[in-house]
Structure 1
Amino acid sequence: MFSTLGFSDSQIGIFMTLTLLGDVFISLLLTLVADKIGRRRILVAGALLMLISGVVFAISSSFSILLLAAIVGVISPSGNEIGPFRSVEESIQAQITPPHLRAEIFAISGIVDALSTALGQISIGFFTRYMKGKGWSELAGYRATFWLYAACAAVKLGLTLLMSEECEVEPVREYMPVSTDEDIPLSAKSSPQTEPPTPIALEDNPRGVWSTIVSSFPTFSEESKPIVLKLALLLGLGSGASGLVPMSIIVYFFSQTFHLPTNILGLIFFTTSLVSDIAQLLSATVAKRLGLIKTMFVTHLPSSLLLALIPIPNVYLASTVLVIRFCTGTMDVAPRTALISQLVLGEERTSVMGILNTVRTLTQAVGPWLSGWLSEGGRLWISFVVAAVLKSSYDFGLLAMFWNARPREEVVVQNNDDRHEQDEESI
């Protein structure tokens, strides 16, 4: 669309970069205050901004106005969701879902997300071609797609308004006991929660506008701070490795190395996407048997190591390795989200997920530039090897740091029981 408006390549590059950075900042800000302001209010505001930005893109040709609309409306330059919605929605799903079902719910959510994205990409391609065949100009076809984008935002707004109070953080935390045989432990040594923790009361702070603004931001418990730091370091390491070999780089490697026609490339990567989606559904079943951390390790480590074998100078072997890698490459996604939801307290969950998603986005953004620099010198294979090493380090680091981890609610229960016993002894 931008080229049809007469924007230069440098302007388009600046637009994409500023949009990405702006989206990350706004998304982090909104996720940090979502639990205090209200999760539904954040989602409603986001849907309204999406609606407005869609209309702006459909009618405006100003570079500055489009840039502002893209940043405020959280339009992703990559096509993937980087806005605050995912963090808020995952936090809501974790709150209203029993712990032993979270991995399955997140897996199903991931499948729906992937299929919806694919459907949107395919339908928009056919839509623009159809409009062009009807005599519409290329620019008019692009503008029509943004009217469809605005319509989708309106539907999202309506659905968000129908959400119930159960989506919000409870003033007094009440966790349901989940001592069933089907619980998914974090590791073999963790045990399921048997009773709810002692409620934590939050004090009001009526000291003025500035105090109100400050109080809208979360305060993490002392126990959660090192956990968030460890998760940020590990996820930043893993995402940085993913940034070295994103799907676009892999497609480019196969195209330039083996000179494959587009239909063969399409078949290869359609197969990888298909097995990746199927694997996500299987991850919840594996997690029930092994636990979340073991599932993440045993499924993701082989995928990490196989990255180093993709640059094999044989199209059949390279394609086979690629497909095998994607068989387990996404099986850690749902368990990882379930793990994060259990490692922090309920009132911290949205903010933590927002912070971690921001870290992952920023670290992943560096990789393509490095891979492009290596590719210019004919050394793109180094990206695959380095990515394999970094991802393997992430896997072993996760196992080492969280092998003995227990759900935070369980820890709170234990601490309360210990204090209760000490009080009884003192009496």
Structure 2
Amino acid sequence: MPSLANELGYHHIMAEGHAHARRDIALLYVSRFLRLFAFGAVAPILVLHLRKLGFSDQLVGSFLSLTLLGDVLLSLVVTWSADAIGRRRVLAAGALLMAGSGIAFYLSSSFVALLAAAVLGIVSPAAMRVRSSSFSALPFSQADAHAPTVGPFSAIEVGMLSQLVSPDARVYVLMWYQVLGFVGTSVGALTSGFIISQLEKAGWHVVAAYRVIFLVYSLAAGIKVIASVVMSTHAELDAPAKPTATPPAEETSTDNERQPLLANQGQQAPSVADAILSSPEEPAPLPRLPLGKLIALCFIFSLDAFASSLIPNSFIAYYFRLSFNAPLSAITRTFSAGSLIAGFSQLAAGSIARRLGIILTMVGTHIPAQLITIALAFAPSLASGLTLYIARASIASMDTSVRGAFLAAIIPAESRTRFLGIINVCKTLASAPGPTLSGHLASWGGLRWSFVICGSLKILYDLGLLAGFLKAKLEH
């Protein structure tokens, strides 16, 4: 029986045996935590802050949609230039932009200035929302309200992590990468609620208190600059090739549950490592998705991304405030608890996917979460609404790390950063109209219908994934 350490990937990761790999992985984890801490601090107050500045519901929705469109251009520039310029340099530059954006939000009340700062500093629904956008081509996922996602820079980090470790360790390294993101989001939300409540007790105006949170955002970004700069050259694309790590003895036994990634006629089915977690640099050929299936994936994941964009955490906070007059402290505590629960649920993702397979893991956890999303629209009280939010958090994003490993295996290493960036751009384009629609629904007194539309579309996404790929043998 596999030990708990194996189920959580400890032996896989430590089997790498490269000090530089472990050091760079640790720095990337720090970077992930800091970025999600910053986004977690800002997410509960972003829409509330814009409304306090006097922007209408429609204008706030347009603001968020425009930042998503701006993210498209930024993502293209960043992901297509990162390997040429240097991944570490690009991550450091992105952190500097984050810091500048936070300062702009602290100093300015101008719609145009804040919009420019939000685009450059990734203060957008792509950073605040639900499914790991850069993590999954199958989605932010980062997209239920709990899978943190963060613009184009996660695509770079995922590419670096995938390169630093052997295929067998990849799914576990990415799993912990996701977990650290959830923890960062949780700590950020708690910190935000605590600071604002203390400042309001001290007599600060609510807008001034909100602005302090944007300074915290800048401070976290400044530390992230340092973490990016001190990484080694092994994280770059042209780093020396790394030998494949030998899996632990417990994992080398024959496992009848392991199935091929894609059926190849006339060829023997590859093992788990060869299928889901194989690397293009290895001698074994990597199975490719047919063009038709690739187009189908782009369509259904764009549908998922659009649904996610209807209810970023910023709008969920606004919904609780509008519908139940919820205090900010209750909202931030609930968001924090939701992120922690979602993070802990990630720890079971690798084990569940190995037993049920990728598709059944994705669909089996996602459909119940979307039924809860729809139920949120009809919550009769604040207590029931917050309870439903927590219940949704517990299952909505369990598949994120598994899908990240899947993408890392399909895309060749030399193209990984660019391809992940293109995938994110498609999802971001699909997401752009969502906040505008929710903003109009809010102005008409119908923000709750955003939850109904979101949950319904996501169930269609799940059914499409099940119908199109269940028989493709994407078993882990």
The question of a shared fold, defined as TM-score above 0.5 by the shorter chain, is answered with yes
User: Are the aligned partners of 1:227 and 1:343 in contact in 2 as well (CA < 8 Å)?
Assistant: no
CA–CA distance in structure 1, aligned partners of residues 309 and 325 of structure 2 = 24
Partner of 1:364: 431
Correspondence for 2:170:
102
In the TM superposition, residue 163 of structure 1 has moved relative to its aligned partner by 0.8
Map 1:135-150; keep pairs closer than 5 Å. Answer: 144-150=212-218
SS, match of residue 88 in structure 2: helix
8 A contact 2:87–2:156 mirrored in 1: yes
Cα distance between partner residues in 2 of 1:379 and 1:60 = 31
Q: Are 1:86 and 2:134 an aligned pair?
A: no
Alpha-carbon offset, residue 90 of structure 1: 1.6
Q: Hey, what does 2:94 align to over in structure 1?
A: 46
Counterparts of 1:28-39 in structure 2, within 5 Å, are 28-39=76-87
Tell me, yes or no, if the aligned pair for 1:24 and 1:83 is still in contact at 8 Å. no
Residues 23 and 74 of structure 1 are in contact (CA less than 8 Å); yes or no, is this contact kept in structure 2? Answer: yes
1-structure distance, mates of 2:468, 2:98: 39
- 1:313-352 aligned within 5 A: 323-352=390-419
- Counting only pairs closer than 5 Å after superposition, residues 162-177 of structure 1 correspond to structure 2 as 162-170=230-238, 176=244
Instruction: Tell me how far 1:328 sits from its aligned partner.
Output: 2.0
More displaced stretch, 187-196 vs 340-349: 187-196
* In 1: Cα distance, 2:448 partner to 2:206 partner: 38
Q: 2:181 aligns with which of 105, 113, 131?
A: 113
Q: Compared with structure 1, are the counterparts of its residues 162 and 390 closer, same or farther at alpha carbon in structure 2 (3 Å cutoff)?
A: same
Deviation at 1:16, TM superposition (A): 4.3
Which stretches in structure 2 are left out of the alignment for 5+ residues?
A: 1-48, 129-148, 263-268
Within the candidate set 239, 245, 249, 2:305 is matched to 239
How many Å separate the matches in 2 of 1:266 and 1:55?
Answer: 22
The answer as to whether partners of 1:293 and 1:402 remain within 8 angstroms in 2 is yes
Does the aligned pair in 1 maintain the 2:103–2:215 contact within 8 Å? yes
How much does 1:157 deviate? 1.1
Q: State the distance in 2 between where 1:363 and 1:152 align.
A: 30
Range 269-278 or range 330-339, more displaced: 269-278
TM-score by length of 2: 0.64
**8 Å CA contact 1:174, 1:197 repeated in 2:** no
| Equivalent residue, structure 2, for 1:27 | 75
Secondary structure at 2:237's aligned position in 1? coil
Instruction: Report the Cα distance in structure 2 between the residues aligned to 1:117 and 1:227, rounded to whole angstroms.
Output: 34
Aligned residues of 1:228 and 1:352 also touching (Cα < 8 A): no
Aligned to 1:283: 349
1:299 and 2:365 are equivalent in the alignment: yes
Number of residue equivalences = 385
The 8 Å contact of residues 103 and 287 in structure 1, kept in 2 or not, is answered as no
User: After superposition, what is the alpha-carbon deviation per residue over 1:341-384, rounded to whole angstroms, capped at 9, x for unaligned?
Assistant: 12211122222222222333332343344456567778777655
Q: 1:411 maps to which residue? A: none
Shift of residue 398, structure 1, vs aligned partner = 2.7
Spell out the pairing of 1:357-396 with structure 2 (5 A cutoff).
357-371=424-438, 384=451, 386-396=453-463
Q: Distance in 2 between matches of 1:67 and 1:186?
A: 46
1:68 is aligned to 116
- Report the 3-state secondary structure (helix = DSSP H, G, I; strand = E; otherwise coil) of the residue aligned with 2:228: helix
- SS of residue matched to 1:158: helix
Alpha-carbon spacing, 1:75–1:376, altered in 2? closer, same or farther (3 Å)? closer
Moved more, 100-109 or 38-47: 100-109
Report if aligned partners of 1:187, 1:293 keep a CA contact under 8 Å in 2: no
Once the two structures are TM-superposed, the CA of residue 34 in structure 1 deviates from its matched residue by 1.7
| 2-structure distance, mates of 1:379, 1:253 | 10
Distance 1:57 1:376 in 2: 24
Return the match for 2:420 from 338, 353, 356.
353
Deviations along 1:253-293, whole A, 9 cap, x unmatched?
Answer: 67777x58658877776665443333222212212323333
CA contact (8 A) 2:310 2:454 kept: yes
- Which 5+ residue runs of structure 1 have no aligned equivalent? 201-220, 408-427
Match of 2:271 among 162, 172, 191: 191
What is the CA RMSD across the aligned residues, in angstroms?
Answer: 4.4
3-state secondary structure, aligned to 1:27: helix
